[in-house]
Every structure is written in structure tokens, then in C-alpha cells.
Amino acid sequence: MSVNITGDSSARLIDGAIPAGLLAAVRERRPLVHHITNCVTVNDCANITICAGAAPVMAEAPEEVAEMVAAAGVLVLNIGTLSAAQVDAMLIAGRRANDLGIPVVLDPVGVGATAFRTATARRLLDALEIAVLKGNAGEIGVLAGTGGSVRGVDSGGVAGDPVETARECARLTGTVVAMTGAVDVVADDRRVFLVRNGNPMMDRLSGTGCMAASVTGAFVAVAGDHAVAAAAALAAFGRAGERAAGGAHGPYSFRTALFDGLAGLSPDDLARHARIEER
């Protein structure tokens, strides 16, 4: 889905040293990223977390999630392949994370496609303190109530201005909203960041949205400012896509190169190439 966001003469380019410093912090601290995620992309999410410099754990048994999340730096919840038991585990883990001050990232995959998904996303938003809500344009539009369409788990776009949609969703949910697209939009109650890194090949793979949530979780784990962390994470992931595109011959060689592109991404490279604007 293409999000057409024109340049703004009043926008301020963020110093590349900021995302670079967060990438360095992830690699130095290697936070544990606890995932309760979907079975389609679970291995990709684990490996992209490692490539970012963090450590993944995939644990969703209700009997252990509260204990596991207590050892983590962040909890990433992904509703891509939902079940009632998984929702129970998410609530147990999320409440424990909230009690301990551990940030929670929610990826509302496919919200709007079915009543169960939509109700689950709203239940998690109501029951838990979410640090970052990361979704595509259609998902964020549904949750903002401004109009969004979802086909399966793919975005069908938003009805209005994407920046205003992200802002409205942030206002309604009281959380940082990271809306992915050709231009990523990160909004909180005060600021909007536009992230212009990435490559169109990223839309031709299943799971890049889920992987973006994992990378976001790694950055959120080492930063107090969750909006800046989300923007930095999306810039790093997008820059990995830019690095990968040069040597790829198709979607699957691009997939391999994407992992290598993030693993080989240096803070210096990110400092020079991150394109984050603040409006």
C-alpha cells in the first residue's frame, strides 16, 4: 500500500546520531524481546531480532508467560494467528509487564478483517498499557475510526490523510502509533515523525510488518522516548531494506539480503542514511 505524503518545508530532519545511538545501545545491551506472536512469521521475527542485536524468546504458554516476561526488556504481542488461548496468554503477560514497567508493543495484524480480531485488538488496548501500537495503514485507520480497509491481513489503505489518521489513533488510544507504509508515520500526543527509509521490495514479502514490530520492540527496550525509538527502529529496518535491494534478484533473495542488511548495518551507516523528519 502506498502512502503519499509530500514534503513539508516546516519539517525538521532528525539528527542521524539519534537512531545510530539507539542501534548501538541495542547491540550493547542485547535486550530480551519476549514475543507472543503468530505461527506464520515466528522464525523470521526471531531471526530479525537477532540481526538487530537483541535476543528473542517465543513463549506463549499461559503457565509461563508471566515468569518469562519478567526477564524481558519488552513484550511484543502480534495477533496474526489468533486463538482464545493465545489471547489469554497475551493478557497475562501484558498485565505482568505493566506491573513491572516493561513496555508492550502491539501489532494488531488484520484488525478489521473479522469481528474476533477487531474485538481482540480493542480488548488488549483497553486492558493493557501499550507503549507502541504498530500497524499498517488499514489497521490503524480501523482503530482510529477514520476509515481503513483490510483484506485478510493486508492493508487496503486509509480513507483520509495518513498523518491525521495516525494522530487520531494516538489520541484515542493514548499510545505511540507507528503506521507503516511507503512513508512510515509515528505519532504521539505531541509529535509526528515521518520515516522515509525503505524499499518497495519489502511489500512483496510476507512478514515484513511482523519483523518491523520485532525491531521496534528491540529499540523500545533501550529507550525512554517510545516515539523516537519507534521512528529509529523503522529507519533502521528501512535502511536494511535499501541495503538489501541492490543485490536481490527477486523476493526470496531479497528476504535473505534483508536479514544480512540489518545484521551488517552499522551505527555510522544509519547515522548517515536515516531519513526521519519531525513535523
Residue 248 confidence (pLDDT): 85
Phi, psi torsion values for 199, nearest 5 degrees: -145, 140
Residue range 91-114: average pLDDT?
97
Domain assignment present for 2? no
pLDDT digits (tens, 9 = 90+) for 183-214: 999 999 999 999 999 999 999 889 999 999 99
Residue 157 confidence (pLDDT): 54
Domain assignment present for 5? no
pLDDT digits (tens, 9 = 90+) for 134-162: 999 999 999 998 765 454 444 445 557 89
Residue 8 confidence (pLDDT): 60
Residue 7 confidence (pLDDT): 56
Structurally, the chain folds into a number of domains equal to 1
Instruction: Collect all residues with Cβ–Cβ distance below 8 Å to 34 and sequence separation of at least 6.
Output: 57, 59, 65, 68, 69, 71, 72, 74, 75, 76, 93
Domain assignment present for 63? yes
Domain assignment present for 73? yes
pLDDT digits (tens, 9 = 90+) for 52-73: 999 999 999 999 999 999 999 9
Residue range 118-139: average pLDDT?
97
Domain assignment present for 154? yes
Domain assignment present for 144? yes
Domain assignment present for 17? yes
Which is more confident, 161 or 264? 264
Question: How far, in Å, CA of 68 to CA of 223, rounded?
Answer: 21
Q: Which domain holds residue 131?
A: 12-278
74: amino acid identity, one letter:
V
In what helix (H) or strand (E) does residue 73 lie, and over which residues does it extend?
A: none
Question: How far, in Å, CA of 124 to CA of 116, rounded?
Answer: 12
Residue 11 confidence (pLDDT): 78
Q: How far is CA 123 from CA 58, 106, 267, in A?
A: 22, 12, 38
Domain assignment present for 229? yes
Give, rounded to a whole angstrom, the gap between the first and last alpha carbons of the chain.
22
Asked if pLDDT for residue 180 goes beyond 90, the answer is yes
DSSP assignment of 86-114, as one string?
Answer: HHHHHHHHHHHHHHHT--EEEE-TTTTSS
Asked if pLDDT for residue 32 goes beyond 90, the answer is yes
Round the average pLDDT of the chain to a whole number and report it.
92
The domain spanning residue 49 has which CATH number? Answer: 3.40.1190.20
Residue 10 confidence (pLDDT): 67
